[in-house]
Structure 1
Amino acid sequence: MKYRTKGTCSSAIDIELDNGIIKSVHFTGGCNGNLQGISRLVEGMPAKEAISRLKGIKCGFKPTSCPDQLAVALESIVGTAN
C-alpha cells in the first residue's frame, strides 16, 4: 500500500503487511538514515504495536512527523482489514 504523507519532509510511505505484521516499509524523501532506521526497527513488528509506539510523535513545531505518519498509514490499513 502506498500512503501519501501530510505535513512531513517525506512525501509517501510504501508499506507491506502480512496478517497484521509489518513486512516492509519504504519512505520516499525525508531524512534517509533516520527513516531507514525506523523502517528496519518496525519490520517484523505487529502493526498495532508500531501504531502505539509511533502515534503522536512530533517533529519540531510540526503537529506530526514521519513516524506519526507511519502510524496514521498503518491505522488506515488495519482499519480496512477489519
Structure 2
Amino acid sequence: MKYDFSPKGVCPLKLEFELDGDKVRNIQFHGGCNGNLKALSILAEGMTVDEIEEKLLGIHCGIKDTSCSDQLARAVIEASRRENAEGGAKRG
C-alpha cells in the first residue's frame, strides 16, 4: 500500500513510501537535503518496519527533537498500525 506523510519539524514537506507486508519500499522525500535523503532512502529500502524503528526512531538533527530519519520511522510505524488496525484494507 502507498502512503503519504507530512513530516513535522524537518525540511522535507512530504514523504511517500509503500508498505509491502512489513517491508518498506519506494521511499521518496520531497524537499530537504537531496543527497542525504537519497542515501537514507536507499539504505532503508527493503527494511522491515521494526528494523527502521530500531535503527532510526529518536535520531535528532542538531538541536531539533526530530530528524528526517526519525520522521521516516514515525511514518512507517503509523502506517503499519493503520494497516494492522484496518486489516490491511487498501488505501491509495
Question: What range is the shorter-chain TM-score in?
Answer: over 0.9
Shift >2 Å, 4+ stretches: none
Output the CA distance in 2 between the equivalents of 1:5 and 1:17.
17
Per the alignment, residue 47 of structure 1 pairs with 49
With normalisation by structure 2, the TM-score equals: 0.86
Unmatched 5+ stretches in structure 2:
85-92
Aligned residues: 82
- Rg larger for: 2
Structure 2 distance, partners of 1:65, 1:2, is 17
Deviation at 1:81, TM superposition (A): 1.9
The alignment's C-alpha RMSD in Å is 0.7
- Aligned to 1:36, the other structure's residue is in SS state helix
Residue 75 of structure 2 corresponds to 73
* SS of alignment partner, residue 73 of structure 1: helix
Distance 2:39 2:77 in 1: 21
Aligned pairs for 1:1-82 (under 5 A) are 1-82=3-84
Larger strand fraction of residues: 1
Letter in 2 for 1:15: F
TM-score normalised by the chain length of structure 1: 0.96
